[in-house]
Amino acid sequence: MKLLFFYFILHLHNFFQISSPQTLPRNTTGHACNLNQTTSSCQTYAFFRAMGPNQLDLASISDLFSVSRATIAKPSNLTSLTSPLVPNQALFIPLTCTCNSVNTTTNLSYAKLNYTIKKDDTFYIVSTNLFHNLTTYQLVETVNPTLVPINLTIGQDVIFPIFCKCPTKTQLQNQVNYLISYVFQPFDTISSIASRFGSTATSIVEVNGDDIRPWDTVFVPVSQLPELTQPSPTSLSSDKMSARRGEVIELATGLGVCGVLLIWIGGLWAYREYSWKEEVGKNKNGVESKKLEVEVSLMADVSDCLDKYKVYKLEELSEATDGFDERWVIQGSVFKGYIDGKWYAIKKMKWNACEELKILQKVNHGNLVILEGFCIDPDNSNCYLVYEYLENGSLYTRLHDSKAERLSWRKRLRIALDIANGLQYIHEHTIPRVIHKDVKSSNILLDAHMRAKIANFGLAKSGCNAITRHIVGTQGYVAPEYISDGIVSTKMDVFSFGVILLELVSGREAVNEEGKALWVEFYENFNGNDEKPNHKITEFIDDTILREPCSTDSVKNVMSIAIASLHRDPSRRPSMVDIVYALCKSDDLLTDLSEDGFSPLQVLAR
């Protein structure tokens, strides 16, 4: 009887909620926590609806919340990390909820998310439109006391505190393991939420009180995460337009292009293709004008570099390479070309190459290959980049081609330092920082003096996004966390650099004939704590190095840098700054000992 009465009250309450004018303000200032009653931090979830148009893919939502796609997909019962989401699709976002003291008297419970301010962002817009009211601008102001809300600059980092709560000890005893953060919608009632999450109205009221208003974040107590039923993938793919959208978005994410422009071009492109197929012959003028638009937008995209680089004519490049004859292929789609008495390397790509152009125009360093100019061919949607030509080809060929002259340890060390310097530059001295994403020996070129330069920024990424769903890169070099979770960071370059160090030391390829990665083999042999016997180490070192008089300490030091760079946990890998420093030490070791002319074999034999 008592229970019935309670429900009656509840329903009455819900009734009022919708019809009565709202007098009390909603809780905008945050939720207090008491460290005596709860743990200082816990893992919890926020219920989140994907809303368009910028949130209809998992990647942008995982970027927003700085978590990997997999950690959203799993609790949300999503089977694919890459298929597009539908509007209002329900997701559970994992949060690390902590109890934070904001001043001497108050502790507030929230999950700290870093967000980088973009054009036209305000605390209010980001809180309501992007985070869907899982936080409020008032709380954002509280936790960022040093920022002036009316004077935000693009690129500024702001903490967005997402409302969350950890269960108290009593709640945990009562099997309440999670308090799911849920933004109360105008059409919700407490009982509808209770049934949706497998909770009870009473327990929701117990936690949140009974004065719940639309857009309030409520905490739904549950013993386990309810299972979400997701739209089946087949119903999605039958919808052609949404699949097409997905492709375009995927393309854009993969290229890491700062979105809108490329999606716009991509859209035009898709549209052009589409209308071309549909109306071939019928509507030539329409197609022509679309083509023009594409061309104009491509040029707008690269207009910044027009004064910095030479713009080549297609005929010029064609002539330089005998009409892109196979004989002039250096590697892949890179041709050697002769223009005005000088050799150049000419890379032919689809129009998306302009991203590389955008990145290259920002960088300028002796250990990065120099871009001389470019050419855009809108008829075939091709883009050509013209680089300086490096006489000694790639490090890959130098190390692994049996015909190539063997490199001395001194030269190898020099090359390692050159690469490290180039990577340090793009990681530390470009704004926003650039991540190469495809560091491998075939992308390292050697000039006439055997100095190394990093080439091929085709997959490089600049800027903020930390997670991608478009996995690219080369087997044997890609960092494990990138393959598994799509995490993009400078540490993935550090990992690939570690693989190059192994190649330099061992003279072996990054992946052997059986398809086993060199780093895996190295891991198995040298990552234990016990001192490895010297014969095992010498087995790993390239014979050429063993034969020459040089310091084993220098080689061993480089091997230890490789071990550190290949750490499975990216946060424990050294930065390129540390690596440059450590490599200089190897160089010193080499100089110290080379006068004495020890052979490593002699040293090891002692």
Ligand X SMILES: *[C@@H]1O[C@H](CO)[C@@H](O)[C@H](O)[C@H]1NC(C)=O
Q: Considering only 227-235, 256-264, 334-342, 404-412, which stretch makes contact with ligand X by CB under 6 A?
A: 227-235
Question: Annotated catalytic, 438?
Answer: yes
Tell me whether residue 184 or residue 384 sits nearer to ligand X (CB atom).
184
What CA–CA distance (Å, rounded) separates 30 from 8? Answer: 30
Considering the complex, what minimum distance in angstroms separates the CB of residue 102 from ligand X?
22
- Least Cα distance to 163 among 94, 112, 239 occurs for 112
Is residue 573 close enough to count as binding ligand X by CB under 6 A?
Answer: no
Considering the complex, what minimum distance in angstroms separates the CB of residue 362 from ligand X?
22
Tell me whether residue 152 or residue 444 sits nearer to ligand X (CB atom).
152
- Least Cα distance to 411 among 350, 460, 452 occurs for 452
Is residue 60 close enough to count as binding ligand X by CB under 6 A?
Answer: no
Considering the complex, what minimum distance in angstroms separates the CB of residue 243 from ligand X?
17
Tell me whether residue 128 or residue 599 sits nearer to ligand X (CB atom).
128
Among 89, 107, 171, 230, binds ligand X (CB under 6 A): 230
Considering the complex, what minimum distance in angstroms separates the CB of residue 253 from ligand X?
22
Tell me whether residue 183 or residue 576 sits nearer to ligand X (CB atom).
183
User: In this structure, are strands 452-454 and 178-183 parallel, antiparallel, or unpaired?
Assistant: unpaired
- Least Cα distance to 221 among 170, 175, 169 occurs for 175
User: In this structure, are strands 178-183 and 334-339 parallel, antiparallel, or unpaired?
Assistant: unpaired
Helices (H), 182-222: 190-197, 201-208
Structure tokens at 97: 């909820």
Is residue 151 close enough to count as binding ligand X by CB under 6 A?
Answer: yes
**How many Cα atoms within 13 Å fall on the side-chain side of residue 94?**
15
Considering the complex, what minimum distance in angstroms separates the CB of residue 233 from ligand X?
7
Considering the complex, what minimum distance in angstroms separates the CB of residue 236 from ligand X?
10
Phi, psi (rounded to 5 degrees) for 246: -55, -45
Among 229, 235, 303, 571, binds ligand X (CB under 6 A): 229
Is residue 88 close enough to count as binding ligand X by CB under 6 A?
Answer: no
- For ligand X (CB under 6 A), the number of binding residues is 12
- Least Cα distance to 73 among 57, 96, 51 occurs for 57
Tell me whether residue 215 or residue 598 sits nearer to ligand X (CB atom).
215
Is residue 148 close enough to count as binding ligand X by CB under 6 A?
Answer: yes
**Window 6-35: contact mask with ligand X (x via CB under 6 A):** ------------------------------
List the beta bridge partners of residue 334: 331, 347
**Window 127-146: contact mask with ligand X (x via CB under 6 A):** -x---xx-------------
Considering the complex, what minimum distance in angstroms separates the CB of residue 147 from ligand X?
9
Reduced to 3 states (helix: H, G, I; strand: E, B; else coil), residue 63 is helix
Question: Residues 57, 438, 542, 587: which is the catalytic one?
Answer: 438
**Window 179-218: contact mask with ligand X (x via CB under 6 A):** ------------------------------------x---
Tell me whether residue 148 or residue 241 sits nearer to ligand X (CB atom).
148
- Least Cα distance to 150 among 183, 182, 185, 124 occurs for 124
What CA–CA distance (Å, rounded) separates 370 from 191? Answer: 65
Is residue 232 close enough to count as binding ligand X by CB under 6 A?
Answer: yes
Q: What is the DSSP letter of 223?
A: S
Tell me whether residue 173 or residue 229 sits nearer to ligand X (CB atom).
229
What CA–CA distance (Å, rounded) separates 131 from 265? Answer: 28
- Buried b / exposed e over 95-121, threshold 16 CB at 10 Å, is bebbbbebeeeebbbbbebebebeeeb
Is residue 157 close enough to count as binding ligand X by CB under 6 A?
Answer: no
Structure tokens at 46: 């926020």
Is residue 227 close enough to count as binding ligand X by CB under 6 A?
Answer: yes
Tell me whether residue 121 or residue 588 sits nearer to ligand X (CB atom).
121
Considering the complex, what minimum distance in angstroms separates the CB of residue 125 from ligand X?
10
Q: Considering only 88-96, 172-180, 228-236, 361-369, which stretch makes contact with ligand X by CB under 6 A?
A: 228-236
Q: Considering only 29-37, 85-93, 148-156, 199-207, which stretch makes contact with ligand X by CB under 6 A?
A: 148-156
Q: What is the DSSP letter of 130?
A: I
Is residue 153 close enough to count as binding ligand X by CB under 6 A?
Answer: yes
Tell me whether residue 178 or residue 344 sits nearer to ligand X (CB atom).
178
- Least Cα distance to 489 among 68, 58, 70 occurs for 68
What CA–CA distance (Å, rounded) separates 162 from 136? Answer: 9
Tell me whether residue 91 or residue 420 sits nearer to ligand X (CB atom).
91
Reduced to 3 states (helix: H, G, I; strand: E, B; else coil), residue 394 is strand
Structure tokens at 294: 């594409």
What CA–CA distance (Å, rounded) separates 312 from 297? Answer: 18
What CA–CA distance (Å, rounded) separates 456 from 444? Answer: 9
Hey, how many other C-beta atoms are within 10 angstroms of the C-beta on 509?
Answer: 16
Q: Considering only 164-172, 229-237, 436-444, 546-554, which stretch makes contact with ligand X by CB under 6 A?
A: 229-237
Considering the complex, what minimum distance in angstroms separates the CB of residue 441 from ligand X?
43
CB-based contacts of 524, cutoff 8 Å, min separation 6? none
At 76, the amino acid letter reads S
What CA–CA distance (Å, rounded) separates 292 from 266? Answer: 14
State the Cα angle at 160 between 66 and 131, rounded to 5°: 75
Is residue 55 close enough to count as binding ligand X by CB under 6 A?
Answer: no
What CA–CA distance (Å, rounded) separates 414 from 397? Answer: 17
Is residue 77 close enough to count as binding ligand X by CB under 6 A?
Answer: yes
Is residue 338 close enough to count as binding ligand X by CB under 6 A?
Answer: no
List the beta bridge partners of residue 92: 47
Tell me whether residue 227 or residue 592 sits nearer to ligand X (CB atom).
227
**Window 101-130: contact mask with ligand X (x via CB under 6 A):** ---------------------------x--
Structure tokens at 438: 């495809």
Considering the complex, what minimum distance in angstroms separates the CB of residue 185 from ligand X?
7
Reduced to 3 states (helix: H, G, I; strand: E, B; else coil), residue 103 is coil
Is residue 506 close enough to count as binding ligand X by CB under 6 A?
Answer: no
Residues marked active site are found at 438
Please report, as ranges, the residues that interact with ligand X according to CB under 6 A: 77, 128, 132-133, 148, 151, 153, 215, 227, 229-230, 232
